[in-house]
Structure formats: C-alpha cells, structure tokens
Amino acid sequence: MTSILILAGSRDGAADPLAKAHDVASKCLVPIAGRPLILWPLDAAMQTPGIGEIIISSDAVDALRTLPQVARAEVSGKVRLIASAPALVDSIVAAGSIASFPLLITTADSVMLTAKALSSYADQSARTGADATLALARRERVLDAHPAGQRRFYEFADGAFSNCNLYWLRDGAALSAASAFAGGGQFIKKPARIAAAFGILNLVLFRLGRLSLARMMERLSRALGVHVAAVEVADGRLAIDVDNARSHAVAAELLDDGLPAAA
C-alpha cells in the first residue's frame, strides 16, 4: 500500500517566523481556519483510499501528541511520529528508510490538499512509468485560484509553473530525486542548489527558460540517474502553501470559502 510522509519540521533547523508570531513550538502548529496547519494535510491523508502508514516527521513530536486527532491516529497505528533532522534532506532519507513504497511526500503547510487530489496525483504518477514525480500547477491556474497565491514560478519554454510541494516515489531508489527537490520553491530563491544538484548547464538553460518542462525533466532524470516526471495538476490552489504572513492570509481566505476541489 502507498505510504505518505508529511514533513513538519523547521527548515534547516531554524526558528520559523510564522511560528514565532503565533507563539507556537513549530510552524506545523500555527493555527489557520481554526485548526493547526498539520491537521489539514493529515485529514487529506487519512481520508485517501489505499493509504497505509502515514509518517509525520517533525521537530515538535511531543507537541503534536497533544492534538487529539494525532494522538488517536498514532495509537491506532495509522500514524507514526518521528523526530525530524535539522536538514530537510536528512529527514526525507530517514523517513524513506522505514516507509513502504510507493511513497507520497508532502508538507505540513500544504493546507489545500484533499483526499481526491492525493489519490488523483498518486494514480497519475503511477501511470507515468517514472521512478519519481513532482506535482506542478500552471501560473494561470494558481493566479485563477487567488491573485496573490504565489509570486515566484519556474519559467519554461512552454509555460510557467509552481511547485505544489507534492512528490511521489515508486521505490527507495528514487529517494535521491526527492532529496534533490527538498525545499520546493526555495530552489528558485537559491539557484546555486540547482547547479549543485543538476549541473551548471541545466541551471543556465533553466534560468534562460530555453527548455520545455518535459525536456527539463529528461535532463534532470539523466543528472539524478532516475526517471523523474512532472505531473501537472489542474487546481492551482494546490500550489498555495503557508510560508509567511501573506500566504497564511491567502490560504485562510480560501479555506474560509470551502475546501478545494480535487485536481
């Protein structure tokens, strides 16, 4: 059965400004629409058919156990809580060593996820024949969902896309791909990470927008040694996560309007 990993630790072990502003131990506990962030993707994972174990990797394991839904799920064996590492990559590798595959990976701030969206993405990923996939939403879809939904996009010859912080791994050999993409949109802010992971030529072509999305995936696959494919999702809301006060306000507005449709 498919497992799900929810990354709920602090990025690079640093104190999160949003958690500090809301006076909570970890960003995953920041309230939104009346509930801690973590409960939104956890609900989606719990309601997704065909899901086995849900692993939550966090730097606030004890605090998470004070949430009744998390505590009940852990006691039932549906959820396993593990301590996150200071580096996100190390948290992914540690969780991957105990997870069953295929493995879905998402983040605690992905509050727009639904069970239907997760199920659809997993099905599409399996049909690609790839070892690993990442979910992307077109800029038009994201801005249709909310004009302030995202400010940064990956520019390709056939369009601009936003990372949805949603990944799928066929087996343990594909862990290198998820590790390379760890941090999602931070890749855009730190292009040196692209060069380190995929090579300077791919960085140059990426920055110039000279490659189509499919062609870029081919190049990345060669660099990583595993077949990586992009899965385009139709619902732009899936690209809207909670990174700061601005995106918290955007996500809260969308949640107040009702849960997103499946993509």
Q: What is the band of 182 on the pLDDT scale with cuts at 50, 70, 90? A: low
What is the pLDDT, as a whole number, of residue 79? 98
The rounded distance, in Å, linking the Cα atoms of 247 and 207 is: 25
Sole residue written with tokens 């849900």: 54
Handedness of CA 82, 84, 130, 261 (dihedral sign): positive
State how far the Cα of 207 lies from the Cα of 191, in Å rounded to an integer: 9
What is the helix (H) or strand (E) element at residue 222, kind and residue range?
A: helix 213-224
pLDDT > 70: percent of the chain: 84
pLDDT band at 10 (very low <50, low <70, confident <90, very high): confident
**Helical (H) or strand (E) element with 58:** strand 51-58
- pLDDT (tens digit, 9 = 90+) per residue, 58-71? 999 999 999 999 99
The predicted model gives 55-84 an average pLDDT of: 97
User: CB–CB of 4/118 below 8 Å?
Assistant: yes
Contact 54, 29 (CB under 8 A): no
33: left (phi over 0), alpha (psi -120 to 50) or beta: left
Reported confidence tier of residue 76, pLDDT bands at 50, 70, 90: very high
Give the span between the Cα atoms of 106 and 6, in whole angstroms.
5
CA–CA gap between residue 194 and residue 78 (Å, rounded): 36
pTM, whole model, 2 decimals? Answer: 0.89
- Asked if pLDDT for residue 13 goes beyond 90, the answer is no
pLDDT tens by residue, 227-254: 999 999 999 999 999 999 999 999 999 9
**Mean predicted lDDT score pLDDT of the chain:** 87
In degrees, rounded to 5, the angle at the alpha carbon of residue 188 between the alpha carbons of residues 123 and 230 is 20
Q: Quick check: 173 pLDDT over 70?
A: yes
Interatomic CA distance for residues 215 and 176, integer angstroms: 20
Would you say residue 261 has pLDDT above 50?
no
Q: Which helix (H) or strand (E) holds 105?
A: strand 103-107
Which range among 44-58, 106-120, 139-153, 178-192 shows the weakest confidence by mean pLDDT? 178-192
Pairwise pLDDT comparison (93 vs 6), residue with the higher score: 6
- Torsion angle of the four alpha carbons 204, 205, 210, 215, in this order, in degrees rounded to the nearest 10: -170
* CATH C-level class of 2-256: alpha beta
Question: Given a cut of 60, is residue 186 above it in pLDDT?
Answer: no
Per-residue pLDDT tens over the stretch 133-145:
999 999 999 999 9
- Encoded tokens for 83: 């301590």
pLDDT tens readout for residues 207-220: 556 789 998 889 88
- Class of residue 71 by CB neighbours under 10 A (exposed 0-12, middle 13-18, buried 19+): middle
pLDDT band at 6 (very low <50, low <70, confident <90, very high): very high
Give the start-to-end residue ranges of the domains of the chain. Answer: 2-256
pLDDT band at 202 (very low <50, low <70, confident <90, very high): low
Tens digit of pLDDT for each residue in 107-154?
A: 999 999 999 999 999 999 999 999 999 999 999 999 999 999 998 898
Q: What is the pLDDT of residue 199?
A: 58
